[in-house]
Structures are given as C-alpha cells and as structure tokens.
Chains A and B, each alone.
Chain A
Amino acid sequence: MNQWEELQQAAFAKRVSRRDFMRRATALGVSTALATGVLSRAGYAQEPKKGGSFKIGLGHGATTDSLDPATYPDQMTGTVGWGASGNSLTEMDAAGNIVGDLAESFEPSDDAKQWVFKLRKGVTFHNGKTVTPDDVVASIKHHMGPDSKSAAKSVVDTIEDVKADGDNIVFTLKGGNADFPFYASDYHLKTMPMKADGKVDWESGISTGPYAIEKFEPGIGAKLKRYDGFYGKAYFDDVEIKVIADVAARTNALTSGEIHFMDRCDLKTVNLLKKNRDVNVNIVTGYGHYIFVMNTQVAPFDNPDVRNALKNAIDRDEIAKKVFHGYASPGNDNPIAPSIQYATNPEPIHTFNPDAVKELLKKAGKEGLTVDLSVSDAAFTGAVDAGTLFKETAAKAGININVIQEAADSYWDAVWLKKPFCASYWNGRPTCDWMFTQAYAADAPWNDTFWKNPRFNELLVAARSETDSDKRAKMYAEMQQLVHDDGGLINIVFNNYVSANSKAVTHGDLLSNWDVDGMKICSRWWMA
C-alpha cells in the first residue's frame, strides 16, 4: 500500500503521465474505478466524452468586430470565427509542429517557391455544400489585392499567385519560403464558401469548423452549435462565448459557475483564485514578448557597446517578479520564444551585470550616459513600472534613464517607430523566418530597431528557401546570436497566457501559438 500512496503523491505532483499511472496502479492491484478517481482529483485529462454546453468568457471583443476574417483583431473574433467555426489549410499542434487541417498533405517544389496543398476529401460547409479548392482559393484571395485592408496582408504579400488544380491548391510564392505551411495556418485565412461572383460569403459566418455560428453579436458574444458533418473532433453540444471586458466580472462569473473558462486572469489576484478548489489555473508560455527597442541608427544607440551596456543594465528577473507577479519568463534579447522550432538561447545570457555595463561604457567613451526612455501602458500593461525598475538598476550601473510617460491614446502613432528608445510588444510569430521578416529585416516597415545588419539579412533570405533542416538550424542560430549581440532589442520577458477554468471542464495539452488554447478551445476541451 505504501507504493500506492507514493504513486498517488506522484500523480498529484504531476510527476507521472496518465498512462504510466494507470499501468502501475493496475500492477499494484488497484481497481480501475479507484485509479481514475485519483486521476480526476489530481486534475488529469480524462478520455474525452461528448456532450454539454460550454460557456467561456473572454476579455476581448468590441462592437466594431465583424465576421470578416480580414478584420479579426484578437482572440474573441479568432475564437468565434476561426477556432470554433472555421479552418485554415494547416494548423499547429501542441508541440509546435505544423500539420494539415483542411489540407491532407502539402509539398514544396522549386526551392520552396511553389507549394501544393492537397485538399481533404469530403469536407462540407455548415450548409452541407462540399468544399472545393475554388472556395479555398477565393478565401485566400479575399485578403490579397492592392486595396486589401486585411490584417493578414503581410502574410499573403508573400504570395505571387494561388490557383486551384484538381483536388489541389497551388501557391506560387514571390520567393522561396520553407515555412509557408506555417503562414497557411494563420487565423485570418479561414475557408469560406465562394459566391457566384467569385467573392467569398463571410457575412453568413458559414465555414467548415466543428461548430456552426447561430448568433454573433459584436462586443457581446456568440452562440454556436456543434456541426455533425465536421471531419475532426468536437465534444460539446453547444458553445457560448461571452465578452466580459472587466477582469473582476470575469473572475466572478467563473467562481459563481456562470462560465467554465476565462482568459487573462488578474495577475494580482490569481494566487487567491488558485486556492479555489473548483478552479484550475493554466499557465502557457506563448510567443509574445514585452520589449524595449532602441533605434540603432540614432546616437547614442548607433554604438553597439552602448546597446549592450543597456542590455546588461536591466534586471529582468526583478521585473518578471514584481511587474508580472512571476507570470512571465525573463528574456535574453532573442525574439524567438523557446518553444519555436530552431530557437536557441544565445550566450552570454544577458542578466543584470553592472561591471560589464561600466566596462562597455568606458569602451564606448560614454561614461555617465543619459538616455530618454518613452513608455506607456499602451505598449503593454506594466510598461511604466518596468521602465521605472529599469531606471533604478541602470542608475546602479552608471546609466541615467529619464523615463517619459507618453499618452496611451496615440502611442502607436506618435511614439513607436518615432522615438529612439521606447517600450513595445510583439505577439510573436510561430517561426524564426516570420518573426525576423516582420520586425528585423532591413526593409521591414515594422523594423522597430531600424537594425540593418548585412550578414543577418543575407542569412534571412538564404534560410527562407533552404529546405535542409540542419543547415537552416545553423543559419537561424547564427541570426539569433546576431540579434542578441548586435541588435537594438531588449527583450524583457516572454509573457505567459494565464487562464482559468472550472473543474467541470477539462482538456489535453494546451497550444502555445495563441491564447485560449490556440483559439481552438471549443473543439479541444470537453466536460470532465
């Protein structure tokens, strides 16, 4: 019996997998009923079962939302319009790999300049109509064109042409891109039925996903019903998604049992929430990161030694602990999150090191350096506090930082990309190439460090069309090292998605590409 107790303790500490636990429990002669009881009390995922009404409360959503995927700004529209009711050609799995979704398989050719996606057979829209490659092509073209205002414009800009060919969808890209299947998983690129005029019908909300939209009220919520013609898995009978902007109201709704899941817990009180025996708190490290960016073209930040001095003058652990209450992982001036393919952790790890700062400043001839740092909580919640803590530690290392609090309203217009040293954030991208192309390529409109490193840009182009995985890994490692050593990025922390759910529902591994279980919570969760 001693062994049984040890095993139970291991289960509660999550030291054993579900399968191992069951195997060892059976070996100890414990009944299956007893063993599964322990598992569920220890919070293990059970075998999924069908049924139930799932209610979730999200902190996003506005009256300006629409079902047009070109406009999806956040997790609310993404969860309703894509995660629950639609599908892209591909999707990410919990391990960060790209797998087919509407596409059965996909193949590159011509140095990854052409990609052929084979459409899954027998997929139907919620109105019963079969999905054809033409529907997919029209859905992609919805975001293309010179007048496009699509939020996915930067994604589809890499596409030269897309056309249907039998059961296949053929993409011709402007340049080779080995990561294109990742782009194809973007949540704006959901598949919708094509109308007679060749445009897509997004107004009806009809798509291919596990749930059909019954009602969508912008800024208030949505109701969806399981679509039995769906090709994949889905467990709940129906789903209700509510917009609850106020975090205290969201928490109350969860604890009073009116919703099963809430996103974006209040980090100040989440420790109290954890004490609630009916509630689970989930912490997922995402790709998003909170940063300070230096304009590498402007003095004094044009001097790499000054940049490195600042990188060593910030105490990221302290900020993670005090500003983010421990729900963030300290960064190392690499924008690539650890869970992304080809991610490295470049040496030396940047930590608070006053001696190194003084040495670097001496080398640059900039002792007694004074710089202005623009911050606002519009950049990220806690930016002002993070800036103030930065000022304190930098002072110890001999750098004087003037923290300037800017107006939140116009922060992205008047400060970001304008002021030489400011706070910012990135949601992150699922691949090295995507992230680097968006924010570190010399000619990228959002290159917020104005960093133009010839070697880096040469590698960026070469790695994009390189299909040999080992060679790519080497190239991306060198690029991450370059950003770390030479770039204008101070990556303070990678943020965590902190959500909570009632124990009435349960789930498997959580996706880390987006919050709300990769926005696919409705099909990936089930009633406990």
Chain B
Amino acid sequence: MHPITRTILHRLGLGALTLFIVSIVIFVMVLLLPGDFAKAILGQSATPETVQAFQKEIGLDKPAYVRYGNWIAGAVQGDFGKSYTSRVGYTRTVAEIIMPRLANTLFLALMTAFIAVPLALALGILAALHRNSLFDRVVNAVTLSTISMPEFFMAYILMLFLAVKLRLFPGLASVDADTEFFTRIYKCVLPSLTLTLVIVAYMMRMTRAAIINLLASPYIEMARLKGISKARIILRHALPNAWAPIVNVIAFNLAYLIVGVVVVETVFTYPGIGQLMVDAVRTRDMPVVQACALIFAVTYIGLNLTADIISIATNPRLLHPR
C-alpha cells in the first residue's frame, strides 16, 4: 500500500473514533444541563400534569443509554429525530429545522472564505517578499488591530458607519430561502466583512512566516543564485513546502467560520446555525442542540482531517518516499 493511502486511512479511523467519543460527550453534557426540559419548553404556564404529559410524549421516561442508542443509530443514517416542538399530528424533524440554517451558515462561510483566503495569501506573500518595508508594517499593523478587537465590536463599528451613518449596506442580514443570490450577497456584506477582518490576520501572518522561514533555506538561496525571478522562487519553490502550516491555519479558520460565528450572526440577525443552537439551548430543544453540536464536531474534525491530508499530499518529501 502506498504510504499516503495508509496515512490517510489511519487519519480517517482516528477521526471516526474522535467523533464517537465526542458524541458521547455531547450526550452526557446535555444530560447534565440543569433544569427541566419540559418546564422550559412549556414556560411559566406549565402545570404538573402538562409537564408529565410532555415528558411521556418526548420519551424522557426511558433510560439514558437507550436514548443515546436510538439517537446515535438515527444520526448515523442522517436522521436526527424530532424537535421537542413536535406534537401529536405535527412533526418537525430536526433535519428540517437545521438544513436551511446550515445552508445559510455555509453560504456566509464560503462568501467570507472567497474574500478572506485569497486576500490573506496575497497579503502574506507580498509581505514576505517586501519584508520590513513600509507595506509589510502597515499590513501587519492593520490586520493585527482588527484581530485584536472583539468581533462584536468590529461588527458594531462597521454597522455604525456603513449601515447607520452612510446607509451603504443593510445592518440586518435577514435572508430566507427565497432571497435571490445577489440580494443575499448584498445583505451578507457586513457580516462577511466583519468575519474577514477577524480571520485575515491569522492566515496572513502564518503565510508570511512560513515563506520567510523557507526563504532563508539553502535551496532557495540556490534558486536565487541561478537567477530565477522572485515570483517564480516563491510560487514554484517556496510555496509547495510552505503549504502544510498554511493549509492547517486555513482549515482552522474555515472551521471557525462555520462553528464560531454565533456572535456575528446575533449582531446582524443572520439566521445561521450558531444562532439556532443558542436559541435551542435557551428553549431546551435538546435534539436540535445535540444535532448542532454533532455537526460542529464533524465540521471541525473533517476540516482538520482534510488539512492534514492536504499537507501530507503536498509535501514533496512525503509524496516521494525513498
């Protein structure tokens, strides 16, 4: 077997194991949450009888391991069960609640990634090329300032100037399934911009550092002595060896764009999955909470796995083993 195939299979196995452990952790954490789900769902108007009727209906009278078994068996087949808001004759599956929200989150993440990743790579490469120049310093100062500010603060600043004062972009990113593609992009400008400002610095600095590191190595010196152009040195000789750390940090930031944007979603009232999860925790809609947590775990583990595999696959030394 090719060593790369073996490594990949090994990583996939580890990923699946991690996911299994995470699913147990999620289930146990939800069990440990204080308060009574039925009471929280029914509100202050709950009476003992209504609470009892409700608990029976959602199967809370069964032991925990049975519920875990049912849940995980369903989840593997893509069935996350019913939301606690379902009642007799009216079913709301977790999947139908989550899917539109997940689609929104992915849209925002992709839109941001399309702006942020090329921007960060370009800035990082340019900064490495013109190390210690004025350009390098300005780029560093600006991106480090934007990453140092909490994201909600960035969001409010952008909203104040671009939405309230200049009225260029809407401050409410309220989209739904019927929103047209370009309207959607227009509405997502401010949240996307906020997220871009938050993640660019990290990726940019990593790119810059990785390339600068390599530029000092003997084989680059050799290339330079051969008289190859600067651009070619970087793109052809330095970058392939720099991919590993860069891809890792990109994957990390992409994962953040999917699982960690709840603050930005709340500020711009963007109906994404982070907001859904907070909402579900607040209203104790546990099947939704569990499903969201599992999706987050899959995203995180999946993206890290991909990053690992890419960094192995692009590493010339691993690619051509002796």
Using a CB–CB cutoff of 8 Å, the interface residues on chain A facing chain B are 57, 62-66, 68, 71, 73, 146-154, 203, 215, 217-221, 242-246, 248-249, 252-253, 255-259, 407, 409-410, 412-414, 445
Contact = CB atoms under 8 A, between A and B. Distances in A.
Given A62-B283, A63-B280, A73 B43 contact: yes
A10 B53 CA distance: 59
Considering the complex of A and B, which 4 residue pairs feature the smallest CB-CB distances, nearest first?
Answer: A151-B45, A149-B50, A64-B283, A410-B34
Contacts of A215: 176
B131 interface: no
Contact of B170 (A258, A407, A410): A258
A127 to B, nearest CB: 19
B271 A220 contact: yes
29 contacts: A62-B283, A63-B276, A63-B285, A64-B85, A64-B283, A68-B90, A71-B85, A146-B49, A147-B53, A215-B176, A217-B271, A218-B85, A219-B279, A245-B279, A246-B269, A248-B156, A249-B171, A249-B267, A252-B160, A252-B163, A253-B171, A253-B269, A255-B164, A256-B164, A407-B34, A409-B34, A410-B34, A410-B36, A414-B34
A248 B153 CA distance: 11
B279 A242 contact: no
Interface in B263-298: 266-269, 271, 275-276, 279-280, 282-283, 285, 288
Nearest to A445: B47
Given A252-B163, A256-B164, A413 B87 contact: no
B85 A66 contact: yes
Contact of A154 (B45, B90, B164, B282): B45
B143 interface: no
Contacts of B160: 252
A153 B45 contact: yes
B172 interface: yes
B44 interface: yes
B157 to A, nearest CB: 12
Contacts of A62: 279, 282-283
**Could you tell me the dominant secondary structure of chain B's interface residues?**
helix
B83 A412 contact: no
Nearest to B178: A215
B78 interface: no
A252 B176 contact: no
B24 to A, nearest CB: 22
Given A62-B282, A149-B50, A219-B276, A244 B269 contact: yes
B82 interface: no
Nearest to B278: A245
B176 A217 contact: yes
A221 B54 contact: no
A255 B164 CA distance: 7
A409 B33 contact: yes
Contacts of B72: none
Nearest to B101: A63
Interface in B49-94: 49-50, 53-54, 83-85, 87, 90, 92
A406 to B, nearest CB: 11
Interface string B77-119: 0000001110100101000010000000000000000000000
B285 A203 contact: no
A217 B39 CA distance: 23
Contacts of A217: 176, 271
Nearest to A425: B44
A220 to B, nearest CB: 5
Among A62, A66, A217, A413, residue most surrounded by chain B Cβ atoms (within 10 Å): A62
B42 interface: yes
A422 to B, nearest CB: 14
Sorting the interface of chain B by its residue count into under 10, 10 to 19, 20 to 34 or 35 or more gives: 35 or more
Contacts of A258: 170-172
A154 B269 CA distance: 35
Given A63-B285, A64-B285, A248-B267, A220 B43 contact: no
Nearest to B38: A149
A146 B90 CA distance: 19
Nearest to B268: A249
Contacts of A147: 53
Given A249-B268, A253-B171, A149 B44 contact: no
B159 interface: yes
Contacts of B49: 146
A219 B271 contact: yes
Contact of A63 (B34, B43, B279): B279
Contacts of B275: 219, 245
A412 B53 CA distance: 19
B41 interface: yes
A413 B50 contact: no
Interface in B141-173: 156, 159-160, 163-164, 167, 170-172
B315 interface: no
A275 to B, nearest CB: 14
Nearest to A152: B45
Nearest to A250: B269
Interface in B1-59: 33-36, 39, 41-45, 47-50, 53-54
B5 to A, nearest CB: 43
Contacts of A248: 156, 267
Among A65, A243, A249, A410, residue most surrounded by chain B Cβ atoms (within 10 Å): A249
A420 B2 CA distance: 71
B160 to A, nearest CB: 8
B140 interface: no
Given A63-B283, A249-B172, 12 more contacts: A57-B172, A63-B285, A64-B283, A149-B42, A154-B45, A217-B176, A244-B172, A245-B269, A248-B156, A249-B269, A252-B164, A414-B34
Among A63, A249, A414, A445, residue most surrounded by chain B Cβ atoms (within 10 Å): A63
Contact of B36 (A150, A151, A413): A413
Nearest to A221: B174
A257 B83 CA distance: 35
B170 A149 contact: no
Nearest to B263: A246
Contacts of B41: 64
Contacts of B97: 63
A492 B182 CA distance: 52
Contact of B163 (A152, A219, A256, A409): A256
Contacts of A259: 172
A64 B34 contact: no
Interface in B167-200: 167, 170-172, 174, 176
A215 B164 CA distance: 28
Contacts of A57: 172
A381 to B, nearest CB: 15
Contacts of A146: 49
A220 B175 CA distance: 9
Nearest to B156: A248
Interface string B237-254: 000000000000000000
A242 B36 contact: no
B269 A242 contact: yes
B273 to A, nearest CB: 11
Contacts of A242: 172, 174, 269
A487 to B, nearest CB: 20
Nearest to A219: B279
Among B156, B160, B163, residue most surrounded by chain A Cβ atoms (within 10 Å): B163
Given A153-B50, A410-B34, A252 B45 contact: no
B42 to A, nearest CB: 6
A68 B53 CA distance: 17
Contacts of B176: 215, 217, 220
Nearest to A426: B44
